[in-house]
């Protein structure tokens, strides 16, 4: 069974856009071949955006779920974290092309880190554009999942890409003006270092001020006991989305802190995506 799966995913390699630098593929814990590409950044072609992806067997075209990680304190391996846990393979078993981005400054993605700002947002757009070009992908069914910092990035990308089919946001901040200063001084220090903490910088990272540009349905997940980003961020963002006519679903997890258990998240995510991809 595993041998057939490996052959099915290796064949399309010759079809992948040649602009990507091919890295050695990885094998996850369930035997899925996960490809790794280094893509040229749209702001500076000399800088690379690291993308991991795997896919079901067959020709497709398949929907895509692109995962965007949050901040990593120690092992800053970016999107590879989703490979090591087997998450990409799990998603691919459901019939999706599963992909994971390394934000600039994480993994092999070139920096600088800009705390979810335009450079990071453009890296995500590069990854989306690359995935849409693949012959086994349905370009009309591309969704984003972002968690924590990744949710900030995904929410802003949704304001710039009207073709997205769906957006899932977990434990994110959507209005820097009301979030900063945050509950944790270490986060404040990172924000000042990476953004300069100017009004212009805050607006470029605050999706709540750009909801009129969002077209995709949005699923917002947040822990009621979140110690880093108050749940009010999610509530106000969902209210603003609804007022702007965006299809939004808000799920609050009463006992959860900043890390919502994965099983609880995906009980909400999969039905949401199935509806959005119809």
Provide CATH code, domain 2-276.
Answer: 3.40.50.1820
Nearest CA to 57 among 17, 13, 11?
11
Mode of pairing for the β-strands spanning 97-101 and 48-54: antiparallel
Each domain of the chain, given as residue ranges in start order, spans 2-276
Alpha-carbon 157 to chain mean position: 9
For 165-222, the pLDDT digits (tens) are: 999 999 999 999 999 999 999 999 999 999 999 999 999 999 999 999 999 999 999 9
3-state secondary structure of 97: strand
- Give the relative orientation of helices 118-132 and 149-158 as an angle to the nearest 10 degrees: 70
- Do 227 and 256 touch, CB atoms closer than 8 A? no
45 burial class (0-12, 13-18, 19+ CB within 10 angstroms)? exposed
236-250 pLDDT, tens digit per residue, is 999 999 999 999 999
Tokens 């990593």 found at: 72
**pTM across the whole model:** 0.92
């Amino acid at each position: 069974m595993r041998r057939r799966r490996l052959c099915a995913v290796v064949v399309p390699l010759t079809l992948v856009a040649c602009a990507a630098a091919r890295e050695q593929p990885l094998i996850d814990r369930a035997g899925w071949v996960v490809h790794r590409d280094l893509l040229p950044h749209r702001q500076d072609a000399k800088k690379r955006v690291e993308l991991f992806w795997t896919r079901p067997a067959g020709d497709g075209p398949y929907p895509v779920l692109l995962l965007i990680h949050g901040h990593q304190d120690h092992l800053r391996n970016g999107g590879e974290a989703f490979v090591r846990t087997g998450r990409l393979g799990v998603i691919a078993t459901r019939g999706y092309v599963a992909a994971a981005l390394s934000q600039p400054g994480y993994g092999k993605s070139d920096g600088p880190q800009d705390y979810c700002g335009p450079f990071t947002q453009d890296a995500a757009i590069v990854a989306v554009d690359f995935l849409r070009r693949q012959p086994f992908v349905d370009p009309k069914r591309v969704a984003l999942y972002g968690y924590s910092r990744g949710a900030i990035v995904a929410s802003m990308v949704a304001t710039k890409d009207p073709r997205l089919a769906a957006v899932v946001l977990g434990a994110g901040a959507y209005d820097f003006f009301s979030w900063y200063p945050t509950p944790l001084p270490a986060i404040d220090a990172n924000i000042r270092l990476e953004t300069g903490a100017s009004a212009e910088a805050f607006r470029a990272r605050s999706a709540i001020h750009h909801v009129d540009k969002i077209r995709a349905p949005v699923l917002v997940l947040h822990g009621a006991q979140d110690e880093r980003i108050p749940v009010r961020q999610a509530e106000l963002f969902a209210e603003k989305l609804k007022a702007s006519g965006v299809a939004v679903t808000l799920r609050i997890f009463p006992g959860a802190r900043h890390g919502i258990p994965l099983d609880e998240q995906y009980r909400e995510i999969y039905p949401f995506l199935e509806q959005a991809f119809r």
